[in-house]
Structure 1
């Protein structure tokens, strides 16, 4: 298998390499191509990747290039993990919305829209290149905002699925609490990317016994502390919300907290400087422990499992029982899964994944608290994608006005001005 990683110079990449090395029987990688315009970072990461493979006796070769066409030619799968504007742009996304009394976050609210506007055109250009060089390749998108980016890819007719590591992290967490192997835990994980709820936690597969009521009963205080929400919220909802829901359920409180501490981008930038120094050490032959604080835990396991299912290399029988298929949480076209959304909306749900793509599992009943917010954010995502594809101040304003965390015309106007001022160099139409 030839796997290409666009954004291969990311400090995330050694997490991915480690997974490829450990899970070689699931995904037999022959050649790994790391693609990135930042030559200095790319060489450091590629060098560590070669040492990780060598230390684990993995036979794959590692190629580094800045040329997307060359790097994706002949690829079986292309992973997208890029960040247009780097941590500097992320820092702005996390700070200027606070000036208007709104959450500053890289995927949620006004900052998330800015990231989408910068990212969608770049990703679509890369995808068109992949279509020319490797028309049969699957595109796996890990680039945020995953839901909007995946929808752009699917709307343009690309073979693509979106991937987030949140579900696999929760699967591991719940498995540990239950004392079972992670593969025994199936999540009824439904919603949009970074806007999900665990409606059930099942042992033994999609039709297994739901133990979420037991988990909530035994661990509600710990869950509430982890999510930084009052326990009464969990007791009332009766489901396990994503920690991103705190931006919605405690918006004003979160804004005040964000105003008093460094941005996450500043923290990550410092971490990346330390990681890159480590990557340059020729004695380093494994991913460093510090990488665990960078984010992206279990990304490699999720990416390997998804690529293996799409390429038919996973072996065994999982999910629906067909060879090579498996049930995984992915970002995929709705196609009636959540009946209150259009078919072309992109949802984050469990799906049976195989060579032909992903087919979402039937969803349990989604209550009005969840359905209302999912519908609202989906409407925003419609407008955000329209703005990313066609540009224009009016489209940006409408997307911000539609977002449930904004929704007031004076704030939307002020945020529009700031978004454009901070992103003109990335927006061809601005």
Structure 2
């Protein structure tokens, strides 16, 4: 089995490689191809990847290349984990929105729109080359903003599934609180990427007993601290929101907090520099503990599980599907959204793709916000595909974290000024 990783020079990559090495019985990788135009980083990360495989006794090979077409040729699956503009662009995304009194964040709000505008055209170009070179390959998208990027891929007819580590991270947190094995916990995880709620917590599988009321009653304080939200809010919701919902539920407080401390981008850039120095050490044969502070917790387990299910021998006549949380077309899963929206939900994943499980009822408090952000994503994707200042402004005005004319005008000017080199239509 040949797996290619676009953006293989990322400091994330050893997390992914560690999963491939540990879980080789689940996903027997014969060749892992790391693709990245940044040759210096690729050499460093590739060297560590080979040592991780060797230390684990994995007999697969790790190859590196800056040539996309050569790297994806013959791949069974291609993972996208790229960041257009690097950490420098992320730092801007987290900074200039604050000047307008809005959240500065890399996947939502004005910063998230900037990232989508930079990213969608690049991803679509890569995906088209995958289709041209290797049309049977699955594309697994981990590139943020995952919902918008996955929708762009699916809208263009690509064989793609979106993946985020938020659900598996929450699953592991809940399992720890309940003192059960992670595989015993099934989450009724519904919404959009980075805009989800756990509407149920079931033990033993999708049909298992719902222990969400017990979880909130006995561990509400721990969850509230983990999510940086008031416990009373969780109790009022009767659900466990994604940590990203603090940008909505505590917007003004978060803006004030962000203005008084170094940005996450600056922190990550410093961590990356230290990680790359560690990766250069030929005696390092495993992912260092510091990588846990980089983000992407449990990404490798989620990626291995998804790839293994997609690359199985299942057929439409004899499916053998695993339930995993992925980003897929809505197709009436959430009846208040259009079918072509991309939702983040539990789905039965097999060699034929991902089919969402039936969703529980989603109340107006959550459904309203989901529908609002979906409308923004419609406009954001239109702006990413077609360009134009008016389309950027419309998307910003539609976003619930902006929503005011004066702020949308100012944010549009700043977004375009900071991203001119990445937007070909400018």
Deviations 1:107-141 (CA, angstroms, capped at 9, x unpaired): 01000000000000000000000001110000000
Which whole-Å CA distance do the structure 1 matches of 2:280 and 2:320 have between them? 38
Q: Which residue of 2 aligns with 1:169?
A: 169
Q: Which residue of 2 aligns with 1:327?
A: 323
Aligned pair partner of 2:403 in 400, 407, 416: 407
Structure 1 runs of 4+ aligned residues shifted over 6 Å read: none
How many Å apart are 1:63 and its aligned residue? 0.9
How many Å apart are 1:323 and its aligned residue? 6.2
Q: Which residue of 1 aligns with 2:65?
A: 65
Aligned pair partner of 1:369 in 365, 368, 384: 365
Deviations 1:211-263 (CA, angstroms, capped at 9, x unpaired): 00000000111212222222211111100001110000010110010011111
Q: Which residue of 1 aligns with 2:232?
A: 232
The alignment partner of 1:359 has SS state of strand
2:349 is the counterpart of 1:380: no
Q: Which residue of 2 aligns with 1:7?
A: 7
| Larger CA deviation: 226-235 vs 237-246 | 226-235
Q: Which residue of 2 aligns with 1:179?
A: 179
Which whole-Å CA distance do the structure 2 matches of 1:283 and 1:390 have between them? 49
Q: Which residue of 2 aligns with 1:270?
A: 270
How many Å apart are 1:173 and its aligned residue? 1.2
The alignment partner of 1:52 has SS state of helix
Per the normalisation by structure 2, the TM-score is: 0.98
2:341 is the counterpart of 1:345: yes
Query: Could you tell me whether the CA contact under 8 Å between 1:312 and 1:325 is conserved in 2?
Result: no
Query: Could you tell me whether the CA contact under 8 Å between 1:7 and 1:34 is conserved in 2?
Result: yes
Q: Which runs of 5+ in 2 are unaligned?
A: none
2:143 is the counterpart of 1:143: yes
Q: Which residue of 1 aligns with 2:94?
A: 94
Deviations 1:65-93 (CA, angstroms, capped at 9, x unpaired): 11111100010000000000000000000
Which whole-Å CA distance do the structure 2 matches of 1:14 and 1:221 have between them? 33
Two-structure CA RMSD over aligned residues (Å): 0.9
2:393 is the counterpart of 1:397: yes
The alignment partner of 2:339 has SS state of coil
Per the normalisation by structure 1, the TM-score is: 0.97
The alignment partner of 1:290 has SS state of helix
Q: Which residue of 2 aligns with 1:222?
A: 222
Which whole-Å CA distance do the structure 2 matches of 1:145 and 1:406 have between them? 17
Which whole-Å CA distance do the structure 1 matches of 2:219 and 2:183 have between them? 21
Q: Which residue of 1 aligns with 2:285?
A: 285
How many Å apart are 1:179 and its aligned residue? 2.1
Which whole-Å CA distance do the structure 1 matches of 2:182 and 2:353 have between them? 23
Which whole-Å CA distance do the structure 1 matches of 2:71 and 2:141 have between them? 17
Q: How many residues align?
A: 423
Which whole-Å CA distance do the structure 1 matches of 2:200 and 2:100 have between them? 37
Q: Which residue of 1 aligns with 2:155?
A: 155
Q: Which residue of 2 aligns with 1:29?
A: 29
Q: Which residue of 1 aligns with 2:47?
A: 47
Q: Which residue of 2 aligns with 1:360?
A: 356
Which whole-Å CA distance do the structure 2 matches of 1:170 and 1:422 have between them? 34
Question: Aligned ranges for residues 245-324 of structure 1 at < 5 Å?
Answer: 245-312=245-312, 324=320
Which whole-Å CA distance do the structure 2 matches of 1:184 and 1:225 have between them? 24
The alignment partner of 2:3 has SS state of strand
Which whole-Å CA distance do the structure 1 matches of 2:253 and 2:217 have between them? 27
Q: Which runs of 5+ in 1 are unaligned?
A: 316-321
Q: Which residue of 2 aligns with 1:416?
A: 412
Which whole-Å CA distance do the structure 2 matches of 1:345 and 1:358 have between them? 15
Which whole-Å CA distance do the structure 2 matches of 1:289 and 1:21 have between them? 17
Which whole-Å CA distance do the structure 1 matches of 2:106 and 2:179 have between them? 35
Deviations 1:304-355 (CA, angstroms, capped at 9, x unpaired): 0000000007x9xxxxxx7642000000000000000000000000000000
2:418 is the counterpart of 1:425: no
The alignment partner of 1:198 has SS state of strand
